[in-house]
Amino acid sequence: MKLGYNLELKQTQKLIMTQELQQAIQLLQYNSVELNQYIKNEIQENPMLELEGNLLELEHIEETPLEEEIDWKEFIEKYDDISYKSQADNNQEEYNYENFTTYTESLEGYLISQLNLLNINEKEYIIGDFIIHSIDRNGYLKTSVEEIADLLDTDIEEVSSVLGKVQKFEPAGVASRDLKECLLLQIKRQETINPIAIKIIENNLEDLARNQIARISEEISVDISEAQEVYDYIKTLEPKPGKSFYDNNIGNVDYIVPDASIELIDDEFVIVINDVTGPRLNISNYYKNLIKKNSDAKTVEFLTEKLNSAMWLIKSIDQRRQTIYKVIESILKFQLDFFKTGTAGLVPLTLKDVADDIDMHQSTVSRTTNGKYVQTPRGIYELKYFFTRGLVTSDGQQSSRGIKSTIKTIIENENQKKPYSDQKITDILKERGTDISRRTVAKYRNELDIPSSNMRKRFA
């Protein structure tokens, strides 16, 4: 075989990841918050870009005839007249922005405020302050009385006395050292103290946790219906008295702004893309005309570059909007029964199914569904919610979410005195055409945070 060097022309097709293509991919995977922040930054950097419907007074520049020289002095006087300020109307109601701010007191601060109201000496106040700062976020005292007495070089009796005063603070059960003491402190606050409840908590707390009402009834010699009633009462107590303070003091609430909505109009589902999640952009006519009229080569080059960048961004955002629409349209077609009947109507669906339907790559569909939400007549859902695994049944394929919904409905309608076992639920599903194993039923039940039949059983 003869080897040699030669020149050969060959025509091939390659996908080159240009900067514009990378930008388009990046925009597609952005959620609404990230996209709006990106657009905001681009508008600040690119003078060619304007938000559609922008109320900036600079839009009126377009109305100025370019043949005439712009009188900037007159323009400023018209739109930014700082030489004259109207007198303030004292009768006009002014908004105090401090009224719009919120403050949520912490558990420590709430307890300290109650400590300040006690008529105690300085040493007792120091002990009380130390106890309060030793309470965890659930409201429990995590330092023993002996340790506090040793650290503050005082008597155990004195620490116990102050602890007793702190345990009378609100919320009820605060500064308790274990669950049993927490529940007892709350019961003893009631106007009518239930002695049976105190007896059960002191002697049968573990049996209570395992729902062994019959055993408790036998041990404390009360009727089983009365034991069930006391059990229901104890369940109303708060096992974590400090929880409410930290639940309300988590921080700012993240609100979901759906990227699109599916509305039922005249018995037909209609998809509407939310422009708030992807604002429409315009090209500033003022700067476009500057390109035409300006004779400076560097200025024209700069503005032309910004114009091309702006045009590509607008095209990418519009393409993103169309892609989201196509994906949602495909999901609506596959999951139409869900929108008509609910979760039980979900069918198995994969990214590949949608990708093949709209003639796109799976990675594109994955980027489109990641972090995107749609508002439906049944609530707001992430697009990924509609992609679910399936199981083969006698009626065809069913989604795992649909089966979970059916299991939940079966348990909600069961006789609470004779709750269904996992095997019984399996048999019921089999009668309805869903043939799955008992172990799968137990797995789905656990994923739904539904306890076993023994824990669900009621005795009265």
Q: What is the share, in percent, of the chain residues with pLDDT greater than 90? A: 24
Helices (H) and strands (E) in the chain — how many of each?
A: 22, 8
Tens digit of each residue's pLDDT (9 = 90 or more) over 388-436: 876 655 555 667 788 888 888 899 888 888 899 999 898 888 888 888 8
Specify the CATH number for the domain of residue 413. Answer: 1.10.10.60
- What's the gap between Cα 231 and its chain centre? 34
Q: Identify whether the C-beta of residue 49 lies closer than 8 Å to the C-beta of residue 313.
A: yes
Total domain count, the chain: 3
Q: Are residues 227 and 293 in the same domain?
A: no
CA–CA separation, 362 vs 372, rounded Å? 16
Q: Are residues 335 and 213 in the same domain?
A: no
Q: Which residues pair with 251 in a beta bridge?
A: none
pLDDT at 80 over 60: no
Identify whether 45 is part of a domain: no
- The pLDDT assigned to 354 comes to 93
pLDDT at 88 over 70: no
Q: Are residues 132 and 229 in the same domain?
A: yes
- The pLDDT assigned to 179 comes to 92
Q: Are residues 377 and 427 in the same domain?
A: no
Q: Are residues 382 and 397 in the same domain?
A: no
Query: Is-above-0.85 flag for pTM?
Result: no
- The pLDDT assigned to 59 comes to 38
Q: What is the share, in percent, of the chain residues with pLDDT greater than 70? A: 81
Specify the CATH number for the domain of residue 143. Answer: 1.10.10.1330
Tens digit of each residue's pLDDT (9 = 90 or more) over 325-347: 999 999 999 999 888 888 878 88
Q: Following DSSP, what letter does each residue of 346-411 receive, concatenated?
A: ---B-HHHHHHHHT--HHHHHHHHTT-EEEETTEEEEGGGG-B-EEEETTEEEEHHHHHHHHHHHH
Between strands 390-393 and 396-399, the pairing is antiparallel
Query: Which residues 6+ apart lie within 8 Å of 325 measured at CB?
Result: 260, 271, 273
Q: Within 13 Å of residue 195, how many CA atoms lie on the same side as its CB?
A: 2
Length of the chain: 460
Tens digit of each residue's pLDDT (9 = 90 or more) over 10-56: 887 776 667 767 777 888 888 888 888 888 888 888 888 887 754 33
Q: Which residues pair with 265 in a beta bridge?
A: 268
Identify whether 237 is part of a domain: yes
Q: Are residues 446 and 373 in the same domain?
A: no
Identify whether 87 is part of a domain: no
Q: Are residues 382 and 394 in the same domain?
A: no
